[in-house]
Amino acid sequence: MLERFGLEKIGIVAAKELRDNLRDRRSTILSMIYPLIGPVVLGMLVLFVGATLSAPKVSEHVVVVQGSAQAPEFVAFVREQGADVVETDLEDIARAVRQGMHPAVLVFPDDYAEAYAQERNVEIQLIIDSSRLSSIMAIGRTVELVNRFNRQIAQSRLAVHGLDPDVASPMSLKSVNVAASLSISGIFLNMMGPFLIFNVFIGGVYLAIDTTAGERERGSLEPLLINPLPRWQLMLGKYLASLAFTALAVLAAVVAYKVIFSGLGLLGVGLKVNPSVGDFALIFLVTVPIQMLAVAVQMIVATVTKSFKETQTYLGLLPLLPSVPGMIMVFVPLQPTTLSMLVPTYGQTILIGQIVRGEGAPLFDLLLSGGSTIAITIVLLFLAARFYNREQVAFAH
Amino acid sequence: MIEVRKLRKTFKDVVAVEDVSFIARDGEVTGLIGPNGAGKTTTLRILYTIMRPDSGVALIDGHDAAREPQEVQRRIGVLPDNRGLYPRLTAREHVRYYGRLHGIAPAELEARIDALVTTLGMEDVADRRAKGFSKGQTLKVALVHQPHNVLLDEPTNGLDVDSSRAVRDMVRRIRDEGRCVLFSSHIMSEVKALCDRIVVMGHGRVVAEGTPDELAEMTGQADLEEIFVTIAREEAELKKKATFEALKEQLDA
């Protein structure tokens, strides 16, 4: 097809760069492993943190107590609620809790029974380790049981004294959680966009560096530039080769997300929404314009910097920049506006989030975001071609 | 044919080439000689389209290197001083890449590559990765598109005796085919043995030009080496003076 327009040399350059760099086995394999890091990390987060933060069932809850013989009423109450009570005779409770043997231990003092009988207030201790994230749910449940027991006893005592129990309880608090059922997994799902965009910016970056700054440093750029083809065609050939590698890396990441999400679903710890193959195909398409943009920026940086090392430094920082809005969005979900669709990487972060959460992305937004990013890419490519035309391009300064 | 008229090129404040003019004819070997920093490489780079002159023109078969780079690139074969290879490509693939970029039809190109491999006696290494291509071989690779004009920047630099001789033999063969060869060197004996005409450069200018005999007559010195040494000495003096003045300026400041 390129022949018809006299552009076949672009294809020749791209094919050579692909062949050359595919032979660099180590870099190729590494570039296909990097994209898997995001999905694996996200999968682990869902698996472990998700499991920790999801509340265990009451029937599975065990209250560990020392001195339960002092408080038969409490034990009965807990069992009535469906949880279980276990007596511990450990000497060093603090150590046991710190080591995670028990998430929390309730300690009834020796004078508890007496105080209870006399209707006196008595302090009981709850031994916890607040630095253990995995204990949060168990602690909460134990505290809740103690509070409920407290309330029930107080009410029955007030009733005995002929008082309305409400007198001692001016307010009752009930929190209403309006987050969708995917609240926790939703946070993880929101991270997918920024992760993917990070992949976009590192997927083919070493190729962009190697084919421009690397070629200059090896001294093969000068003879290459003497060949009879316009420099913009040479630049575009290298651009397309880098773009192909970027696309491959992003594709690897997207496939890995699908595999891991489905795998989590099979394990039963899955997310409440499981995006379909079609959703992931759409997500990949959404990243294509950013891939084009990312490689264009990489070509410019690799052309204007003075050395291979300098290029690496700048391009190493580059992936962090577009991830910033996405990272902010993870914690502060902003209302998507038409304007945000025009911002490359930002619009796509929103769109990927919408697709992955199963909300679907409006066609208008898809076109607007893709169109705007591609338009900016074209400007950048013109710029890259101009930089390629400078005579300094051939020489390490 | 290569023609250079009143070429001037500066890098920031440094004048690399000033008012350089000469002609390299077809069927002749023209030597560009001078000490390091005389402007040889810059002149060649302007001719092979990698640099643009501030003023003046560089013509290859009548085409302006600055205005019609592609026309010029089609007509030249170049061996730059600094010529890196792709370590992961084979010799054959190198030739194929350059050949295709020159627009040689694939069938024709493969035939030429086979012929080249045979002439070079490279049958056993042509399909190995390109680590250790010799410079003589590189030169032949650079000429696969059979250019009419051949530009060589210090082609025998760093070569052993046998390889240097192979390069010189090839240069003669190209000339005998009626093509135009322009090559730079700072090795006197080489230039004397090989060149039909010599352009002597010093501090960015052409200081003498002619056949080896004419040059000897002109300077009254039978030995070309002497001309060269004189220029080199002047060059060194100039540099010393410049350094001294810069130092003085700094001290005054």
Whether residue B108 is found in the same domain as residue B53: no
Q: What is the ipTM of this complex?
A: 0.86
Closest chain A residue to the Cα of B50, Cα to Cα: A391
Average pLDDT over residues B58-84: 90
Inspect the interface and report whether the beta carbons of A20 and B100 lie closer than 8 Å. no
Option in A215, A227, A394 nearest B102 (CB): A227
Residue A53: the pLDDT is 60
The answer to whether residue A292 scores a pLDDT higher than 80 is yes
Which chain B residues are closer than 8 Å to A6 by Cβ?
none
The structure's pTM equals 0.79
Residue B75: the pLDDT is 94
Residue B140 lies in a domain: no
Which chain A residues are closer than 8 Å to B70 by Cβ?
228-230
List beta partners, residue A95. Answer: none
Inspect the interface and report whether the beta carbons of B103 and A222 lie closer than 8 Å. no
Q: Could you report the per-residue pLDDT of A235-268, keeping only the tens digit for each?
A: 999 999 999 999 999 999 999 999 988 888 777 6
Average pLDDT over residues B128-152: 77
Residue A329: the pLDDT is 66
The answer to whether residue A1 scores a pLDDT higher than 60 is no
Rounded to the nearest 5°, which phi and psi values hold at B153? Answer: -100, 110
- Cα distance from A32 to chain B (closest Cα, Å)? 20
Option in A12, A20, A229 nearest B86 (CB): A20
Inspect the interface and report whether the beta carbons of B100 and A12 lie closer than 8 Å. yes
Residue B61: the pLDDT is 95
User: Distances from the Cα of A342 to the Cαs of A198, A287, A377, B18, in angstroms?
Assistant: 19, 14, 13, 52
Closest chain A residue to the Cα of B42, Cα to Cα: A391
Interface of A with B (CB under 8 A): 9, 12-13, 16, 19-21, 23-24, 215, 218-223, 225-230, 391, 394
Mean per-residue pLDDT of chain A? 85
Judge whether B42 is closer than 8 Å to chain A, CB to CB: no
The answer to whether residue A55 scores a pLDDT higher than 60 is no
Whether residue B6 is found in the same domain as residue B118: no
Residue B230 lies in a domain: yes
What domain range includes position B243?
2-83+147-252
Residue B192: the pLDDT is 81
Judge whether B148 is closer than 8 Å to chain A, CB to CB: no
> Residue B25 maps to which CATH number?
3.40.50.300
Residue B121 lies in a domain: yes
Residue B220: the pLDDT is 64
- Cα distance from B78 to chain A (closest Cα, Å)? 7
Whether residue B128 is found in the same domain as residue B213: no
The answer to whether residue A21 scores a pLDDT higher than 60 is yes
Beta carbons within 10 angstroms of residue B113's beta carbon: 21
Q: Could you report the per-residue pLDDT of B163-198, keeping only the tens digit for each?
A: 788 888 888 989 999 999 999 988 777 888 889 999
Whether residue B180 is found in the same domain as residue B237: yes
Question: pLDDT exceeding 70 applies to what percent of chain A?
Answer: 88
Which chain B residues are closer than 8 Å to A219 by Cβ?
82-84
Interface mutation vs chain A, best among B89, B97, B143, B146, most A CBs within 10 Å: B97
Residue B222: the pLDDT is 57
Residue B141 lies in a domain: no
Whether residue B68 is found in the same domain as residue B24: yes
Q: Looking at per-residue confidence, does B237 or A317 come out higher?
A: A317
The answer to whether residue A64 scores a pLDDT higher than 90 is no
Inspect the interface and report whether the beta carbons of B103 and A12 lie closer than 8 Å. no
Report the candidate in A313, A369, A380 with the shortest Cα–Cα distance to residue A341.
A369
Out of A185-189, B80-84, B147-151, least confident range: A185-189
Whether residue B178 is found in the same domain as residue B192: yes
Q: CATH number of the domain at A58-168, please?
A: 3.40.1710.10
Judge whether B66 is closer than 8 Å to chain A, CB to CB: no
Whether residue B169 is found in the same domain as residue B229: yes
Q: Could you report the per-residue pLDDT of A192-220, keeping only the tens digit for each?
A: 888 899 899 988 888 999 899 889 888 88
Residue B79: the pLDDT is 84
Residue B8 lies in a domain: yes
Cα–Cα–Cα angle for A73, A81, A112, nearest 5°? 25
With a CB cutoff of 8 Å and minimum separation 6, the contacts of A269 are: A46, A47, A50, A51
Closest chain A residue to the Cα of B49, Cα to Cα: A226
The answer to whether residue A26 scores a pLDDT higher than 70 is yes
Residue A13: the pLDDT is 95
Q: Predicted confidence band at A181 (pLDDT cuts at 50, 70, 90)?
A: very low
Q: Predicted confidence band at A12 (pLDDT cuts at 50, 70, 90)?
A: very high
Residue B166 lies in a domain: yes
Query: Looking only at Cα atoms, what is the longest distance across chain A?
Result: 104
Residue B142 lies in a domain: no
Cα A132 to chain centroid distance, Å, stands at: 22
Tell which of B132, B155, B189 closes a domain: B132
Whether residue B243 is found in the same domain as residue B162: yes
- Total domain count for chain B? 2
Whether residue B67 is found in the same domain as residue B98: no
Tell which of B108, B132, B156 closes a domain: B132
List beta partners, residue B149. Answer: B76, B180
Q: Over chain A, what HEC string results?
A: CHHHHCCHHHHHHHHHHHHHHHCCHHHHHHHHHHHHHHHHHHHHHHHHHHHHHCCCCHHHCEEEEECHHHCHHHHHHHHHCCCEEEECCCCCHHHHHHCCCCCEEEECCCCHHHHHHCCCCCCCEEEECCCCHHHHHHHHHHHHHHHHHHHHHHHHHHHHCCCCHHHHCCCCCCCCCCCCCCHHHHHHHHHHHHHHHHHHHHHCHHHHHHHHHHHHHHCCHHHHHCCCCCHHHHHHHHHHHHHHHHHHHHHHHHHHHHHHHHHHHHHCCCCCCCCCHHHHHHHHHHHHHHHHHHHHHHHHHHHHCCCHHHHHHHHHHCCHHHHHHHHHHHHCCCCCCHHHHHCCCHHHHHHHHHHHCCCCCCHHHHHHHHHHHHHHHHHHHHHHHHHHCCHHHHCCC
The helix (H) or strand (E) run that includes residue B111 is helix B106-120
The answer to whether residue B78 scores a pLDDT higher than 70 is yes
The answer to whether residue B136 scores a pLDDT higher than 80 is no
Option in B70, B88, B98 nearest A24 (CB): B88
Which chain A residues are closer than 8 Å to B83 by Cβ?
219-220, 222-223
Inspect the interface and report whether the beta carbons of A23 and B101 lie closer than 8 Å. no
Domain residue extents for chain A: 2-52+181-394, 58-168
Whether residue B55 is found in the same domain as residue B107: no
Which chain A residues are closer than 8 Å to B101 by Cβ?
9, 12-13, 227-229
Residue A356: the pLDDT is 86
Out of A34-38, A151-155, A262-266, B16-20, least confident range: A262-266
